[in-house]
Amino acid sequence: MIGFVVRRLLQLVPVLLLASTGIWAMIYAVPGGPIAAIAGDNASPEQIAAATAQFGLDRPVLVQYADWLWNALRGDFGISIRGRAPVLELIGQRLPATLQLAVAATIVSLVIGIPVAIASALRPGSWIDRLLSGWSALALGVPTFWLGILLILLFAVELRWLPSASGYVPFWENPLGALRNLALPALTLGVYVSGILARFLRASLVNELQADYVRTARSKGLPERQIVGVHVLRNALLPFVTIVGLMMANFIGGAVVTEAVFTYPGIGRLLIQAITTRDYPLIQGCIVVILVLYIAINLAVDVLYAYIDPRIDYR
């Protein structure tokens, strides 16, 4: 098991290295480079020279890259140009909000997705199956930002039950306030992902229901509830773990749009601000942190999967 984890970690090194080199190179390939952003558009040649020297941009490219990589490895992504604070500190402030939303959205998607999948898998081809599969197509096709706007219109503008802009309230400090703020963004993200989860779980349930052990269980007179609830669901949920993990990993960085709809203070919004203000160190930092989290979650899923499914050989 430990060997498996170590090997998977080692496989990540080239991907991370290549990706971070790409991120670094992309930004330094900009015409005018980051200096134009740092010094401002109307900077005099002296100011540009000063900024170049201050940020060490007059050194050979390879030295700059090695320096950046070495600092990044130690968690130092430099100082935000606009925010005048260490990049990692800015990201650290936003991380709990993003994680809280990711967890809430995952719960919503499971609460919707699992019952939908079970209901439609038990009677494939029936009207309820067709209705529910239409629903998951809808959940997948409706853009999250439009769904978010519709939810704001209904719950914030018309009914006035929930705030239209969601702030970050830590759940353990004020559970009710946190739920009020999380409800709409978590629903928006959760509905979208429930469409994917339901489709996937339905397919694997239908598959399992045709297995020999189900026929055996039925012929020995086990109640259907027990067959589905205990035996089938357990087997069908195995591949499902991978998808849930993938979705969670996607929430970390991919919730940019939902965060923008609800002006939710997560990493996604920080990244948009960084891009619109051309804050290059912050852009690099955000992307690297998101990438590392994304890969870490995927790795955790792989390991968990190997652990819960004894058929997988992880030597």
- Binding to other proteins in span 226-245, by CB under 8 A: 243
The answer to whether 107 contacts other proteins (rule: CB under 8 A) is no
Choose, by CB under 8 A, the member of 80, 120, 144, 166 that binds other proteins.
Answer: 144
**Cα distances (Å, whole numbers) of residue 234 to 210, 295, 298, 308:** 15, 26, 21, 11
Contact range with other proteins by CB under 8 A, out of 42-50, 53-61, 74-82, 195-203: 195-203
Alpha-helical runs (H) found in the chain: 2-28, 33-39, 45-54, 61-73, 87-122, 127-141, 144-151, 175-209, 212-219, 224-226, 233-254, 256-261, 267-276, 280-308
Please state the three-class secondary structure of 181-246 as a single string: HHHHHHHHHHHHHHHHHHHHHHHHHHHHHCCHHHHHHHHCCCCHHHHHHHHHHHHHHHHHHHHHHH
- Is residue 157 a contact residue for other proteins (CB under 8 A)? yes
The secondary structure of residue 86, as a DSSP letter, is B
Angle 271-163-104 from CA coordinates, rounded to 5°: 60
Q: Which is nearer to other proteins, 1 or 157 (CB)?
A: 157
Q: To the nearest whole angstrom, how small is the minimum distance from the Cβ of residue 255 to other proteins?
A: 6
Q: Which two tokens stand for residue 224?
A: 């259907």
Q: Considering the rule CB under 8 A, would residue 251 count as an interface residue with other proteins?
A: yes
Binding residue for other proteins, selected from 178, 189, 214, 228, defined by CB under 8 A? 189
Closest to other proteins by CB, 203 or 209: 203
- Minimum CB distance to other proteins, residue 173 (Å): 27
Q: Does 116 bind other proteins (CB under 8 A)?
A: no
Residues in the site for other proteins, rule: CB under 8 A? 14-15, 18-19, 22-23, 26-27, 29-30, 137-138, 140-146, 149-150, 152-153, 157, 164, 189, 192-193, 196, 199-200, 203, 243, 246-247, 250-251, 253-258, 260-261, 271-272, 275-276, 278, 283, 287, 290-291, 294-295
